[in-house]
Amino acid sequence: MTRWHEFTSADWDRIQTTWRAWWAGELERPIVTIVTRDPGTSAPEGDDFLTRFPLDKPADEIVDYFKRRMDTLHYYGDAYPKYWVNFGAGVIAAFLGSGVEFNTGTTWFQPLGVNSLSEIVPTYDPNNVWWQRAQAITRAAVEYWNGRVVVAYTDLGGNLDILASLRGTQNLLFDCVEQPDEVERLVNEITHLWQRYFDELEAMIPPTQHGRAAWAPPWCPSRGYMLQCDFSYMISPQMFERFVMPDLIACCDSLDYPFYHMDGKGQLAHLDLLLSIEKLRGIQWQPGDGQPLADSWMDVLRRIRDAGKLCQVYVTLDGALKIARELGGKGFLFDIQDQGKPVMREQLAEFYEELEAING
C-alpha cells in the first residue's frame, strides 16, 4: 500500500518495467490495479468534475483541492498515482463552442442550435474559455506534482460523440441517414482538431513525468489514449465502418498506445471491425449499467484476447480470478472495483496467492 507522496524511484521503476512488459505482451500475469480511499472520505457525486468550479477560481487552488483529495488514496498492485484533468466526456465540444452545464452531478454539453450540419464549422480557437481552462489546470497540475504524479490528459472525447454534442444527438442520428457526406466531412475535420488538441496537451507534459495516462486505468510509456465512440451504440456496423473507423484508424496512427473504450452491449456489433484495426493495442470492455459484470462475458473477452489485443475490465476480486482461471491472466488489466466496498488487506493477500497459482 502506497500513497502518492510515498512513491519512490524504485516504485516508479517497478511501474514502468511491469507495464512496459504488459504492453509488449511479455508479462505472463495480468496487470492488477486497486485504488482505495481512506474510510469515511468518499467523494460526493460529481466531485471530480472541473466544470463545477467557477471559471474565475484560480487553477492552483483547484489543484490544491484535488491534492488534498489524493492524500486519502492508497495504491495497490500495479496502480500508480494519477490526477485526471476531468471536465466531462468529450470536452472538445466545449472547445468548439458548445455551452457547458454542470447539472445532476455531471457535465452536459449543449448543442450549437444550428439548423443543419453545413452551419457547423469546427474551428480551433486559442481563446476559447474552456480550452484556456483545460490548459491552465493541466499546467498547474504538472507544475504542482512536478513528475511525482501522472497528470492524465483531459477527456477529449470520441469524434462522432463530439459532433453529437455540437449538433444534438437526435439530429445527428437523422443526419447519418440523410446527410452522410456532411457527417463524414465534419468527423474528419474534428479528427484533425482532436489530434491538434492532443498534441498541444502532450507538449505540456514534462519529460520528468513518469509516463502518460488518460481517464482510464492503463499507464503508457508515451503517447496513449482511450479512444471511444459512445454514439456507435445506436448505429449499424455499416455506419460505424463509414463514420467511425477512418477516424479511429487516424487516431491510432498518431498514438503509440491507443486503446478503445467499448461501452455497452450495443457496441458488440462493431467488435470485429475494432479488432481489425492493426494499431489498436487493446479494448476496454464495459458491459454497461444494469448488465452483468465483465466476468460474465467470457466469449467477448476471449474474442478480444484471441485477436491478439490487450483487454481492460472493471471487476471484483472474484471476477478477476474467474477470468484468470478461464482464460489465463496474460494480456488482461483488472481494475478492481469491489462494488463500493473497501478491499481488505487480508482479501488481497489471498487474491494474489490464488492469482499466482493460476499464472504459475
Partner 1 sequence: METLEIIRKAIIEGQAKQVEQEVKTALDNGIKASQILYEALIPAMAEVGRLYEEGEYFVPEMLISARAMKAGLGLLKPFLIGSDVKPVGKVAIATVQGDLHDIGKNLVSLMMEGAGFEIVDLGVNAEPEKFVNAVRDQQVNVVAMSALLTTTMTRMKDTIHALQEAGLRDKVKIIIGGAPITQAFADEIGADGYASDASQAVTLTKRLLALS
Contact set with partner 1 (CB under 8 A): 45, 103-106, 108, 169-170, 173-174, 176-178, 234-236, 239, 264, 269, 288-290
CB 223, CB 23: distance < 8 Å? no
Smallest gap from residue 289 Cβ to partner 1 (A): 3
Q: Which is nearer to partner 1, 169 or 195 (CB)?
A: 169
Supply the minimum distance, in Å, between the C-beta of residue 290 and partner 1: 4
124 vs 174 by CB, closer to partner 1: 174
Residue 215 contacts residue 86 (beta carbons within 8 Å): yes
Q: Decide: 174 and 117 in contact? Cβ < 8 Å.
A: no
Question: Which amino acid does the sequence have at 178?
Answer: E
Cell numbers given for 7 = 512513491
Contact 153, 89 (CB under 8 A): no
For partner 1, which is the closer residue by CB, 97 or 288? 288
- Which residues have CB under 8 Å from 300's CB, separation 6+? 268, 271, 285
Nearer to partner 1, 112 or 204 (CB): 112
Distance of closest approach, residue 1 Cβ to partner 1, in angstroms: 29
How far apart are CB 64 and partner 1 at their closest, in Å? Answer: 27
CB of 344 to partner 1, least distance (A): 25
Instruction: Please give the Cα distance from 332 to 319 (Å, whole number).
Output: 12
Rounded CA-CA distance 224/153 in Å is 9
Nearest to partner 1 of 221, 266 (CB atom): 266
Nearer to partner 1, 9 or 238 (CB): 238
Shortest Cβ 93–partner 1 spacing (Å): 15
Residue 19 in grid coordinates = 507495464
* Region of residue 25 (phi > 0: left; psi between -120 and 50: alpha; otherwise: beta): left
Report the chain's C-alpha Rg in angstroms.
Answer: 20
